[in-house]
């Protein structure tokens, strides 16, 4: 097929034969083949790739793709009680509106003067997260929460000059995998025992393991299993006494009602911003954040872009610029100890919109509402024969464990039963935490009305019988 | 050649910070109401929280009515030069049209409101999408299996480094093979991520052709070589014709070869990583494959491997299910640890898939050829712009999809730098260009990548702007150095973001520190001339 | 903004020789010859360009100029009302005037000295002030081997203005000493003369570009750690001149001559500023299994790691140690600053030069290397 035939398509205007000819003439070559002179002929594809027949018509394309994803079940049509790192919350119309704005959607590496709006939105994201977590330095979004945790614990190791990292034994298997892979070359991981009664970290075990080699201690609040840690200040003291730094991972949506880690002694805070006005996208909505106090020794270790506000030359004007890029892998290249590139800024902007809408009242109300709904669901499920909620007496946010061991049924069976009624049950924990037996992690958020929770309970009752 | 003065004026809203728009009591949105029955059943859940867990003071978030939040962010979006709005030729970024139909499809609840753990039978559409796109990417790249788990190019390259690590570890050779070779003009991530993965990094400096010599590679190869990780064409738009030799030499030495296809746009349908001998590769779906850049993300990398490396890919993988349909294979086996949560950036996969389906094989080849043709059209004109030179004159090959220009001559003759040009071009209504990644080997660098989406008129508009700025540099250099004049914001004090006493990344810090900005006793800080 | 106190010293005859094909403008004979050939003073004109650009910025400056055509005239031409140091001299000025002017300035409260000239002028400043006051050099001489000069008069002006705005860090840049007689005879034989403190503005100074100050420091520390870690017990280490080698010495906690070759064994300095004879003597008495090692860094604007500033490490020495025992270290910054990232060697032996030419690994950090081209 001749290269000079050109190609007509809405996305490639200059491939149109007449235009192509004009450009070839201007450039002074006979065909585009000449422009590939640097590529050895032996490496060049002969003919066309074996790809599916194209659908240049937008209508046909849309039918085709929507036909494929139409096979998915949406959590809008089904009741969903699964969380475990990706959660179904209400996404305000304004969040979709703004993250859909073409200017934000298709901006990229513009700077202080060309993308002032994007920069301000990012500064506002950093600021609003800072308010929630009680920290004055917040970076632009990380790839996901796991990446933020990785950056945080290795940062702490570099700052303290130590290799040891103590991780709460309650983190998810996936989280542990991510941390293990990233920290392999630079840190030694060990686990803090969990008190089975409370589901929280065992402070005696923590103290026992806090040797002078430990640079970072990490726990999550709420934990992976939804439990709320109230001994933050005590833990911080213990950790600091040993010369280590405290890293806390949070659900920012809980911070309207839960204490800010910055206020109880955390040195570095990380979390996932997906609950803040971002759709689940089957996990594609996950995006992390990293925060610390405003101290040079912390700031110099942040791997991602930090947006700083700065004064304009005219009185009262402000602008924004990327700060201290020599911290980053862009500059450090082969000397890098962490890396960052394109991450998830669009979700950061969405989160900024979300928090601007919610305000303090909204965050308080949603926090309360989730605490209530989750507790109600847990209480009702606990009444069912064959189901136990081991931490019912504790405080939990959004998620809680239900132990079905006594029912004689596996979580897989129970979830299949729920699915038959168009309900997605909790995440099966039996593989991840075998000591919990046939347990599942149920997630209840503000989108669940009482009738939804009642339906879950009634259906569970049926499935368990 | 004289240039017409631009009459472009960016929106300048002087929009206050959202925190400054706060008025006590205003509500932006109301969460779902508390159910009275539930409340009665559970009691005061907040009061019941243990003291150490309870938030004592509400977070100081702004209180802003809904329409004002909307206006705020709408105005900010207007002060942003996305590709949807204007020409953007930022080098190495592969800016192109992100078809709107993709956005509308991706908004469907059947994608947006899918939970990653809701069960394979409930996500068949998603799995089929990933499976099909996997096959497409294998065909495009010559690889055998892909994962879409990494959330950006850099994370994709990091995945490559982890795969190399796992391979040598499985053969008991990791202790010995601890060196990765890359080049100075490969993306910084090609040097950074192997370092993060624990490797020693050897960087090949360019020869007189502007790319690395085979002899340089030979000097770097040893029995400690774990692999080669490079970008080709490099960030200078130059393709290294000896790439096959590079790969063969590294293979001979027992190393693996990873192809960073960040600059893969000109190679679509023309050259395949697999045919070039590489063992693995990564593509940026948010560059080459039209998924929108998202203001610096939602990124997604497609990481592909040859068959013998399939077992090392991070889980889960999408596979065909017995009896039809698709499933997620979570069986860990020798798979490397997870790179990112869950399965991947699904919307980007959908958009990339849709883009390829719209264009087809002939279309992809047209994309590549047109991007290269457009670039050489720009190059032809840029050679005539006063003050511009093209580095590495010994290299007579046509450039592929981008060119790194130098304004060194303009600087010597007028004092106007490439950074000045970059700032000034915003006044012409076009997005600014990037100078260069580090290391900035080319003096006064300026890297432009037109891509395949633009019309000739749009390319001419960019050229006219650069010619006008050049003319201004030679006739009124002070004016050329003082831009931009018509941007969304005035020039800023660029020392503040570099000064620990002055920088402010949150509103809180800003409140606390802004008084110091005008202090006479501000410290002398170390300045940094950045690339990007 | 407080006014910057800017010293100004112009060597008015620097660069005269070059325009008419002579090498240098040092001696009275050369100057006379240059004038015969119609040479015009270059230095004042280029200084004028820089001063005009500085003046146009309209920022508060107190200019303290050496008298007459050593600065005062050009300063007034540009619009300044300078404070004048010393008195005007008749005829062609000699180096002593530059030295005296600089010394006088260094005694005053002064923020920055702007000077115009060539290598000779730079050496005068090293003699006069060393690192006491930061300097900005306007390139005007024909011999530009020293790294301290801005890339152009415009660049020099920008450096002054940027330095004023908020201050920048300084770094030590090399001043070379070319053997004039040998140079005129067609040979290039350079020594490292010393260092001047120059504001750190990578894109404006001749041949400094990549990296950034803090990354440079990190790299130096990494290089030093790597080299020290590789030192064998009983091994004779021959450390060349330069700031990179000084970093190695710092890592060992020992003194090192900045401009000379020092010998180190087991963390102890055996000899400082050793000449070829001393080096050979130590090589010959070495009685260990560990082969000796040469550790050098590129010196001068052409990136010579043999032949500029370290000729004491002669071809004889190199051959005795063995090419395989040579380590070259440089920060990425230094490599990137070299034209085409090219290193050079000039050992005096063409055979040896050819063996050293080609591609070579250079240590750029603790865990990093760059492969650079070495030319003869």
User: Domains of chain A, with CATH numbers?
Assistant: 13-68 (no CATH), 79-87+361-464 (3.90.1150.10), 93-354 (3.40.640.10)
- C-facing residues of B in 473-532 (CB < 8 A) are 478, 495, 520, 522-529
Task: Determine phi and psi for A297, rounding to 5 degrees.
Answer: -65, -25
Which chain C residue lies closest to A333 (C-alpha atoms)? Answer: C211
CB contact under 8 A, C155 and B411: yes
Q: What does the block give as tokens for B94?
A: 């592969």
Which chain A residue lies closest to B497 (C-alpha atoms)? Answer: A323
Asked if A335 has any chain C CB less than 8 Å from its own CB, the reply is: yes
C-alpha distances in angstroms, B490 versus B13, B74, B420, B482? 12, 20, 14, 11
CB contact under 8 A, C213 and B415: no
Q: What is the pLDDT, as a whole number, of residue B522?
A: 82
Range list of β-strands (E), C203-328 = 236-239, 262-265, 268-271, 293-296, 304-306, 326-328
HSE toward the beta carbon, residue C179, CA cutoff 13 A: 13
Q: Which of C199, C226, C254 is the last residue of a domain?
A: C199
Which chain B residue lies closest to A147 (C-alpha atoms)? Answer: B340
Q: What does the block give as tokens for A263?
A: 């206020």
Q: What is the pLDDT, as a whole number, of residue A399?
A: 98
Tell me: pLDDT of A377 over 70. yes
Q: What is the pLDDT, as a whole number, of residue C88?
A: 64
- Any idea which residue has 């006979």 for tokens? A30
The answer to whether A45 and A28 have CB atoms below 8 angstroms apart is no
Question: For chain A, what percent of residues have pLDDT higher than 70?
Answer: 99
HSE toward the beta carbon, residue C362, CA cutoff 13 A: 35
Q: In chain B, helix, strand, coil percent, each to 5?
A: 40, 10, 50
Give the number of other CB atoms < 10 A from CB of residue B472.
23
Nearest to B442 by CA among B88, B89, B91: B91
Q: How far apart are CA A340 and CA A335, in angstroms?
A: 13
Nearest to A222 by CA among A170, A166, A174: A170
* Domain regions of chain B by residue span: 18-78, 106-357, 492-532
Task: Determine phi and psi for B237, rounding to 5 degrees.
Answer: 80, 5
Task: Give A335→chain C minimum CA distance, Å.
Answer: 7
Top residue of C210, C212, C332 to mutate, by most chain A CBs within 10 Å, is: C212
Reading across the β-sheet that carries C236-239, which strands appear in turn?
C268-271, C262-265, C236-239, C293-296, C326-328
Q: What does the block give as tokens for A354?
A: 């979300």
Tell me: pLDDT of C297 over 80. yes
- Average pLDDT over chain B, rounded to whole? 94
Top residue of A333, A336, A337 to mutate, by most chain C CBs within 10 Å, is: A333
Residues of C near A (Cβ–Cβ under 8 Å) read 211-212, 214-215, 218-219, 222, 332, 364-365, 367-368
CB contact under 8 A, B415 and C155: yes
Q: What does the block give as tokens for A94?
A: 């304004």
Cβ-based contacts of A257 with chain B (< 8 Å): 46, 49, 54-55
Q: How far apart are CA B280 and CA B93, in angstroms?
A: 21
Tell me: pLDDT of C25 over 70. no
Number of H helices, E strands in chain A: 14, 14
Residues across chain B: 532
Report chain B's C-alpha Rg in angstroms. 26
pLDDT tens for A358-370 read 999 999 999 999 9
Q: What does the block give as tokens for A216?
A: 């970072």
Q: In which domain, by residue range, is C271 found?
A: 217-375
Task: Answer yes or no: do C78 and C29 share one domain.
Answer: yes
Task: Give A209→chain B minimum CA distance, Å.
Answer: 23
Q: What is the pLDDT, as a whole number, of residue B529?
A: 43
Q: What is the pLDDT, as a whole number, of residue C117?
A: 83
CA A42 to chain centre: 44
Least confident of A158-167, B247-256, B429-438, C12-21: C12-21
pLDDT tens for B34-65 read 899 999 999 999 999 999 999 999 999 999 99
Contacts of residues B43-51 at CB distance under 8 Å and 24 or more positions apart, as own/partner, are B45/A368, B45/A371, B45/A372, B45/A375, B46/A257, B46/A367, B46/A368, B46/A371, B48/A395, B49/A228, B49/A230, B49/A257, B49/A258, B49/A371, B49/A395, B50/A228, B50/A230, B50/A395, B51/A230
Q: Is the dihedral of CA C332, C333, C339, C342 positive or negative?
A: negative
Nearest to B309 by CA among B457, B434, B147: B147
- Any idea which residue has 């949560």 for tokens? B341
The answer to whether C138 and C28 have CB atoms below 8 angstroms apart is no
Task: Answer yes or no: do C24 and C84 share one domain.
Answer: yes
Quickly state the pLDDT bin for B478 (edges 50, 70, 90).
confident
Q: How far apart are CA A122 and CA A211, in angstroms?
A: 39
DSSP state of B244: H
Domain for residue C62, yes or no? yes
Q: What does the block give as tokens for B420?
A: 């000045």
Top residue of B442, B529, B531 to mutate, by most chain C CBs within 10 Å, is: B529
N- to C-terminal Cα separation, chain C? 50
What is the per-residue DSSP string for B131-155?
A: HHHHHHHHHHHT-SEEE---SSHHH
pLDDT tens for A11-66 read 999 999 999 999 999 999 999 999 999 999 999 999 999 999 999 999 999 999 99
C-alpha distances in angstroms, B65 versus B23, B25, C98? 9, 9, 70
Q: How far apart are CA B80 and CA A108, in angstroms?
A: 10
Task: Answer yes or no: do C192 and C233 share one domain.
Answer: no
Q: What is the pLDDT, as a whole number, of residue C301?
A: 74
Q: What is the pLDDT, as a whole number, of residue B2?
A: 43
The answer to whether C354 and C317 have CB atoms below 8 angstroms apart is no
pLDDT tens for A196-244 read 999 999 999 999 999 999 999 999 999 999 999 999 999 999 999 999 9
pLDDT tens for A383-414 read 999 999 999 999 999 999 999 999 999 999 99
Q: Which of C168, C199, C230 is the last residue of a domain?
A: C199
The answer to whether B526 and C167 have CB atoms below 8 angstroms apart is no
CB contact under 8 A, C215 and A326: yes
DSSP state of B233: S
Residues forming a β-bridge with A188: A164
C-alpha distances in angstroms, B492 versus A313, B487, C3, C302? 6, 12, 22, 38
Q: How far apart are CA A385 and CA B116, in angstroms?
A: 29
Structurally, chain C folds into a number of domains equal to 2
Q: Is the dihedral of CA A272, A274, A280, A286 positive or negative?
A: negative
Task: Answer yes or no: do C355 and C276 share one domain.
Answer: yes
Q: What does the block give as tokens for B297?
A: 């993300």
DSSP state of B325: S
- Average pLDDT over chain A, rounded to whole? 96
Cβ-based contacts of A453 with chain B (< 8 Å): 38
Reading across the β-sheet that carries A427-428, which strands appear in turn?
A399-403, A439-443, A427-428
Question: For chain C, what percent of residues have pLDDT higher than 90?
Answer: 39
Cα B107–B110–B113 angle (5° rounding)?
A: 75
Q: Is C197 helix (H, G, I), strand (E, B) or coil?
A: strand
Cβ-based contacts of B198 with chain A (< 8 Å): 184-186
For the residues A179-195, what does the mean pLDDT come to? Answer: 97
N- to C-terminal Cα separation, chain B? 30
Tell me: pLDDT of B530 over 50. no
CATH number, domain with residue C102: 3.40.50.10330
Task: Determine phi and psi for B456, rounding to 5 degrees.
Answer: -65, -40
Residues forming a β-bridge with C269: C264
For the residues B481-507, what does the mean pLDDT come to? Answer: 92
Give the number of other CB atoms < 10 A from CB of residue B66.
17
Nearest to C192 by CA among C155, C236, C151, C246: C246
The answer to whether A401 and A429 have CB atoms below 8 angstroms apart is yes
- C-facing residues of B in 378-437 (CB < 8 A) are 411-412, 414-415, 417
Give the number of other CB atoms < 10 A from CB of residue B204.
30
pLDDT tens for C143-189 read 555 667 787 787 888 888 878 765 567 778 888 776 655 555 555 56
Q: Which of C199, C234, C258 is the last residue of a domain?
A: C199
CB contact under 8 A, A335 and C214: no
Which chain A residue lies closest to B20 (C-alpha atoms)? Answer: A124
For the residues A418-427, what does the mean pLDDT come to? Answer: 96
Nearest to B492 by CA among A315, C86, C117: A315
Mark B225-248 as b/e (b = at least 16 C-beta within 10 Å). Answer: bbbbbbbbbbbbbbbbbbbbebbe
Domain for residue C246, yes or no? yes
Cα torsion for A46, A50, A53, A58, to the nearest 10°? Answer: -80
Task: Answer yes or no: do C22 and C65 share one domain.
Answer: yes
- Does the domain at B106-357 match CATH 3.40.640.10? Answer given as yes
Task: Answer yes or no: do C22 and C169 share one domain.
Answer: yes
Q: What is the pLDDT, as a whole number, of residue A362?
A: 98
Domain for residue C28, yes or no? yes
Q: Is A247 helix (H, G, I), strand (E, B) or coil?
A: strand
Q: How far apart are CA B255 and CA B277, in angstroms?
A: 12
Asked if A326 has any chain C CB less than 8 Å from its own CB, the reply is: yes
Question: For chain A, what percent of residues have pLDDT higher than 90?
Answer: 94
A6 Cβ neighbours under 8 A, 6+ residues apart: A15, A16, A17, A18, A19, A20, A21, B366
């Amino acid at each position: 097929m001749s290269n000079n035939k050109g190609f007509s398509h809405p996305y490639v205007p200059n491939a149109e034969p007449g235009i192509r000819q004009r450009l070839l003439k201007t450039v002074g070559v006979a065909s585009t083949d000449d422009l590939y002179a640097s590529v050895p002929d032996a490496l060049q594809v002969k003919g066309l790739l074996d790809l599916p027949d194209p659908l240049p018509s937008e209508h046909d394309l849309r039918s085709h793709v929507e036909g494929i994803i139409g096979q998915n079940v949406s959590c809008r049509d089904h009741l969903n009680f699964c969380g475990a790192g990706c959660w179904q919350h209400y996404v305000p119309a304004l969040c979709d509106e703004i993250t859909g704005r073409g200017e934000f959607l298709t901006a990229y590496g513009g700077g202080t003067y060309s993308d002032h709006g994007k920069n301000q939105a990012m500064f506002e994201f950093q600021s609003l997260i800072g308010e929630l977590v009680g920290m004055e330095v917040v970076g632009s979004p990380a790839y996901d929460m796991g990446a933020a945790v990785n950056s945080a614990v290795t940062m702490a190791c570099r700052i303290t000059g130590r290799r040891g990292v103590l991780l709460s034994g309650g983190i998810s298997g996936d989280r542990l995998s991510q941390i293990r892979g990233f920290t392999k070359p630079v840190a030694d991981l060990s686990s803090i025992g969990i008190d089975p009664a409370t589901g929280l970290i065992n402070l005696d075990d923590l103290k026992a393991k806090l040797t002078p080699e430990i640079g970072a201690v990490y726990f999550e609040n709420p934990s992976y299993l939804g439990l709320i840690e109230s001994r933050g200040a005590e833990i911080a003291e213990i950790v600091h006494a040993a010369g280590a730094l405290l890293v806390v991972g949070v659900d920012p949506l809980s911070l309207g009602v839960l204490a800010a880690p910055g206020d109880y002694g955390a040195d570095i805070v990380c979390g996932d911003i997906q609950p803040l006005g971002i759709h689940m996208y089957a996990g594609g909505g996950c995006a992390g954040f990293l925060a610390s106090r405003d101290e040079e020794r912390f700031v110099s270790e942040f791997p991602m872009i930090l947006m700083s506000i700065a004064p304009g030359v005219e009185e009262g004007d402000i602008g924004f610029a990327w700060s201290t890029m020599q911290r980053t892998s862009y500059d450090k290249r082969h000397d890098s100890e962490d890396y960052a590139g394109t991450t998830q800024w669009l979700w950061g902007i969405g989160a900024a919109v979300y928090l601007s809408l919610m305000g303090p009242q909204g965050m308080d109300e949603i926090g309360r509402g989730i605490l209530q709904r989750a507790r109600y669901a847990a209480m009702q499920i606990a009444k069912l024969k064959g189901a136990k909620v081991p931490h019912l007496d504790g405080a939990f946010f959004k998620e809680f464990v239900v132990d079905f061991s006594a029912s004689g049924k596996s979580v897989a069976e129970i979830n299949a039963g729920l699915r038959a009624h168009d309900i997605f049950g909790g995440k099966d924990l039996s593989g991840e935490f075998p000591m919990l037996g046939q347990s599942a992690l149920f997630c209840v958020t503000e989108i669940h009305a009482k009738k939804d929770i009642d339906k879950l309970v009634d259906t569970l009752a049926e499935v368990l019988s | 050649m004289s240039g017409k003065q631009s009459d472009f004026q960016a929106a300048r809203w002087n929009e206050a910070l959202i925190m400054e728009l706060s008025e006590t009591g205003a509500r932006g949105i109301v969460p779902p109401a508390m159910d009275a029955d539930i409340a009665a059943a559970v009691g005061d859940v907040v009061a019941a929280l243990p003291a150490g867990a309870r938030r004592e003071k509400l977070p100081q978030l702004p209180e802003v009515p809904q329409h004002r939040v909307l206006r705020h962010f709408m105005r900010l979006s207007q002060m942003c030069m996305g590709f949807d709005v204007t020409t953007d030729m930022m080098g190495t970024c592969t800016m192109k049209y992100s078809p709107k139909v993709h956005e509308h499809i991706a908004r469907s609840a059947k994608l947006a409101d899918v939970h990653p753990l809701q069960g394979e039978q409930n996500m068949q559409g998603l799995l089929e999408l990933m499976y099909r796109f996997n096959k497409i990417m294998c065909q495009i790249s010559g690889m055998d299996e892909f994962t879409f788990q990494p959330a950006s190019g850099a994370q994709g390259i990091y995945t490559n480094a982890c795969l190399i690590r796992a391979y040598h570890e499985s053969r008991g050779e990791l202790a010995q093979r601890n060196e990765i070779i890359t080049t100075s003009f490969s993306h910084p991530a090609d040097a950074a991520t192997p370092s993060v993965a624990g490797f020693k990094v050897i960087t090949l400096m360019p020869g007189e052709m502007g790319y690395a010599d085979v002899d340089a590679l030979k000097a770097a190869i040893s029995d400690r070589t774990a692999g080669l990780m490079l970008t080709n064409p490099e960030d200078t738009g130059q393709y290294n014709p000896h790439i096959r030799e590079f790969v063969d030499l590294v293979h001979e030495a027992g190393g693996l070869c990873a192809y960073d296809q960040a600059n893969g746009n000109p190679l679509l349908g023309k050259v395949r990583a697999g045919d070039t001998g590489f063992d693995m590769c990564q593509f940026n779906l948010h560059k080459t494959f039209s998924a929108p850049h998202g203001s610096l993300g939602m990124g997604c990398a497609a990481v592909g491997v040859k068959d013998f490396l399939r077992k090392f890919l991070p889980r889960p993988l999408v596979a065909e299910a017995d009896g039809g349909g698709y499933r997620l294979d979570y069986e860990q086996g020798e798979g490397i640890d997870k790179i990112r949560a869950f399965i991947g950036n699904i919307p980007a996969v959908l958009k990339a898939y849709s883009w390829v389906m719209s264009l087809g094989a002939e279309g992809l080849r047209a994309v590549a050829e047109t991007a290269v043709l457009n670039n050489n059209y720009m190059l032809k004109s840029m050679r005539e712009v006063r003050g511009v030179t093209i580095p590495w004159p010994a290299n007579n090959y046509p450039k592929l999809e981008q060119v790194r220009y130098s304004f060194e001559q303009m600087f010597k003759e007028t004092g106007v730098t490439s950074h000045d040009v970059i700032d000034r071009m915003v006044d012409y209504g076009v997005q600014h260009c990037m100078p260069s990644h580090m290391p900035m080997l080319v003096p006064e660098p300026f890297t432009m990548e037109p891509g395949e989406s633009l019309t000739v008129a749009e390319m001419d508009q960019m050229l006219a702007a650069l010619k006008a700025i050049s003319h201004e540099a030679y006739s009124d250099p002070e004016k050329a150095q003082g831009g931009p004049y018509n941007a969304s914001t005035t020039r800023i004090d660029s020392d503040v973001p570099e000064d620990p006493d002055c920088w402010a990344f949150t509103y809180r810090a800003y409140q606390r520190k802004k008084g110091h900005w005008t202090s006479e006793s501000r410290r002398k800080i170390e300045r940094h001339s950045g690339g990007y | 903004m407080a006014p910057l106190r800017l010293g100004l010293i112009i060597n008015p005859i620097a660069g005269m020789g070059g325009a008419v094909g002579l090498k240098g403008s040092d001696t009275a004979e050369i100057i006379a010859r240059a004038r015969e050939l119609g040479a015009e003073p270059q230095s004042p004109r280029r200084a004028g360009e820089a001063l005009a650009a500085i003046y146009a910025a309209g920022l508060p400056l107190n200019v303290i100029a050496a008298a007459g055509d050593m600065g005062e005239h050009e300063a007034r031409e540009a619009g300044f009302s300078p404070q004048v140091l010393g008195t005007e001299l008749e005829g062609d000025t000699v180096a002593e005037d530059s030295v005296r002017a600089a010394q006088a300035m260094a005694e005053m409260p002064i923020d920055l000295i702007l000077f115009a000239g060539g290598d000779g002028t730079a050496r005068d400043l090293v003699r006069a002030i060393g690192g006491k006051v930061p300097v900005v050099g306007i390139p005007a001489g024909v011999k530009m081997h020293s790294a301290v000069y801005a890339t152009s008069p415009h660049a020099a002006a920008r450096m002054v203005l940027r330095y004023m705005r908020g201050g920048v860090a300084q770094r030590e840049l090399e001043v070379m000493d070319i053997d004039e007689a040998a140079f005129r005879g067609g040979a290039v034989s350079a020594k490292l003369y010393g260092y001047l403190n120059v504001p750190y503005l990578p894109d404006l100074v001749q041949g400094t570009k990549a990296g950034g100050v803090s990354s440079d420091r990190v790299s130096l520390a990494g290089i030093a750690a790597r080299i020290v870690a590789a030192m064998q017990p009983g091994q004779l280490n021959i450390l060349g001149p330069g700031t990179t080698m000084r970093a190695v010495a710092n890592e060992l906690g020992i003194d090192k001559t900045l401009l000379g070759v020092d010998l180190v064994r087991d963390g102890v300095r055996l000899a400082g500023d050793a000449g070829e004879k001393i080096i050979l003597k130590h090589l010959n008495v070495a009685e260990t299994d560990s082969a000796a090692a040469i550790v050098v860094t590129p010196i001068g604007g052409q990136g010579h790691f043999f032949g500029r500033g370290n000729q004491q490490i002669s071809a004889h020495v190199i051959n005795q140690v063995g090419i395989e025992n040579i380590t070259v270290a440089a920060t990425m910054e230094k490599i990137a600053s070299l034209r085409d990232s090219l290193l050079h060697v000039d050992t005096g032996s063409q055979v040896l030069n050819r063996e050293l030419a080609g591609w070579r690994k250079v240590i750029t950090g603790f865990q990093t290397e760059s492969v650079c081209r070495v030319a003869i």
